[in-house]
Amino acid sequence: MIVRQLKAADIRNLTFVDWTPGEQVNIIYGQNAQGKTNLLESLWLFTGGKSFRGSKDSELVRIGAPRARLQCTFFAEGREQTAEITIEKRRKATLNGVALSSPTKLTGLFGAVVFSPDHLMMIKGSPELRRRFIDAALCQVQPSYIRTYSEYLHILQQRNALLKEWYHFPDDDQLEAWNTRMTEAAADIVVARRDYCRILREQATAVYHGLSSGREEFSLSYEADKPYEQMTREEIVDFWRQSLAESRKADIGAGFSTVGPHREDLSVSISGLSARHYGSQGQQRSAVLALKMAEAAVLRERTGEQPVILLDDVMSELDETRQDYLMNHLDGWQVFITCCDPSTISRLADGNVYKMDAGELK
C-alpha cells in the first residue's frame, strides 16, 4: 500500500495540510510541539483504529473548530482509493464516496505499523503488553485467531467465577468440565502464538542484524521456560491437562486461574541477555523497532499488501549507524519518520524532507 495524498483540516493543531508524500522515506522534522506526531496520527486514523496515543476522538478535533476532516488517497488492492474521515461527536468514514457503517471497516484495507516512544514499554514493561502485541498482530494476519482468543477468554472468566465462589459453592464436576475446555483452548492459543513468534523471529532477527550492523544478536521466543518448541498440539493439550491438575489447590486458594496462556510471556534477548533487564536504551529501542518491522513484514507476506511504516521520534538515543539503517536501508517500504534534530537529515541518501512549523507543513 502506498499513501499518495493526505488532506487534513482542523485535526489537532493542523489547520490545513495538503500533502503529497514520497513513495519511500519521508522525514518530517521540526521543533517540539509543532505537529509532527499529529501528522502521523492523522495517517494512522485510516487504519480504523483508535489514536495510537490513546486519545479520545473529541481530543483530535482542533480546539475551537466544529469538526476535523481527513482525506487520504492511497494505492491498495491494485487501484487508487480515497477514504474520508470526519470527526464530530462521532467518527464517520467513507470509502471511495460510499459511507461505511463504521470507520473500523477501513481495517485490513489501509495497513500501517506505528512506532512511538510509548511502545518501548513493550520491552521494558509487564508481560501483558507483550501478549497484547502478539495477540493484536495475530488478529491481523490470522483473523480466525479472534475466535480462538475470545473462546479462551470466555472459558477463563467462567472458570475464575467458579473459583471465586468455591468456598460457598464447590463443584468438582464443573471445574473438571472447565478444565477440559481450557486445555483445548489453551493449546490453540499456544500453538498460534508459538508459530507466529517463529516467523516473527526470523524477520526481526534480520532487521536487528541490519540495525546493529551485525554486532549484536537478537533472539525471541515464546515462553522460553516451557518446552513448547518441539511439542505437537496434542502434547500441549496433555501439558495443560497436567498443569491445571497440579495447580488445582493454588487456584482454589487464590480464587482465580493461576496458570494458563494468560500468564505467559514473550522473551526478547540481545546477545544472550534479556532485553528487558539488561538492554541499553538504544538496544531496547532497536528491539521494539525490529519487532515492529517484523510485524509489517509478516503482514506483507501473509496479505500481499504492505503497510506503511510510521516512526515517531525514533531517532533519539540511536547512534549514527542505526539511524542510517532506518533512513537508507528500509528498501521497499513507504516510511514516515519524525525527528527534531535537522542534522539527522544530512545523512538521508534518498527521500523527501518536510518541515513542520506551527501546524504547517513546508
Ligand X SMILES: Nc1ncnc2c1ncn2[C@@H]1O[C@H](COP(=O)(O)OP(=O)(O)OP(=O)(O)O)[C@@H](O)[C@H]1O
User: Is 63 a binder of ligand X (CB under 6 A)?
Assistant: yes
**Rule CB under 5 A: which residues touch Mg ion?**
37
Among the listed ranges 57-65, 134-142, 188-196, 232-240, the one in contact with ligand X (CB under 6 A) is 57-65
Q: C-alpha 305: how far from its chain's center?
A: 17
The burial of 168, by beta-carbon neighbours within 10 Å (0-12 exposed, 13-18 middle, 19 or more buried), is given as exposed
Q: How far is the CB of 289 from Mg ion (least distance, A)?
A: 17
3-state secondary structure of 14: strand
Q: How far is the CB of 36 from ligand X (least distance, A)?
A: 4
Beta partners for 357?
360
Closest CA to 315 of 307, 304, 326, 305: 326
- Report the site for ligand X in 287-346 (rule: CB under 6 A): 313, 340
Nearer to ligand X, 37 or 334 (CB): 37
Q: How far is the CB of 32 from ligand X (least distance, A)?
A: 3
Tell me the one-letter amino acid at 130: R
Nearer to Mg ion, 37 or 179 (CB): 37
Q: What is the DSSP secondary structure assignment for residue 61, as one 8-state letter?
A: B
User: Is 91 a binder of ligand X (CB under 6 A)?
Assistant: no
313/340 Cα distance (integer angstroms): 8
The phi and psi torsions of 260 (rounded to 5 degrees) equal 145, 170
Task: Please give the grid coordinates belonging to residue 90.
Answer: 462521532
How many other C-beta atoms are found inside a 10 Å radius of the C-beta of residue 54? 8
Is the CB of residue 49 less than 8 Å from the CB of residue 114? no
Q: Which of 25, 62, 287, 299 binds ligand X (CB under 6 A)?
A: 62
Pairing assessment for the beta strands 335-339 and 308-311 based on DSSP bridges:
parallel
User: Is 358 a binder of ligand X (CB under 6 A)?
Assistant: no
Among the listed ranges 54-62, 148-156, 212-220, 322-330, the one in contact with ligand X (CB under 6 A) is 54-62
Task: Return the exposure string of 100-123: e unless at least 16 CB atoms fall within 10 Å of the residue's CB, then b.
Answer: beebeebeebbbbbbbbeebbebb
User: Is 59 a binder of ligand X (CB under 6 A)?
Assistant: yes
Q: How far is the CB of 234 from ligand X (least distance, A)?
A: 51
User: Is 36 a binder of ligand X (CB under 6 A)?
Assistant: yes
Q: Which of 8, 17, 29, 38 binds ligand X (CB under 6 A)?
A: 38
Q: How far is the CB of 307 from Mg ion (least distance, A)?
A: 20
Q: How far is the CB of 288 from ligand X (least distance, A)?
A: 17
Site string for ligand X, 112-141 (x = CB under 6 A): ------------------------------
Nearer to Mg ion, 131 or 285 (CB): 285
Q: How far is the CB of 120 from Mg ion (least distance, A)?
A: 14
4/183 Cα distance (integer angstroms): 48
Q: Which of 16, 20, 23, 33 binds ligand X (CB under 6 A)?
A: 33
User: Is 35 a binder of ligand X (CB under 6 A)?
Assistant: yes
Beta partners for 267?
221
3-state secondary structure of 248: helix
In the complex, the residues that contact ligand X under the rule CB under 6 A are 12-13, 30, 32-38, 59, 61-63, 313, 340, 356
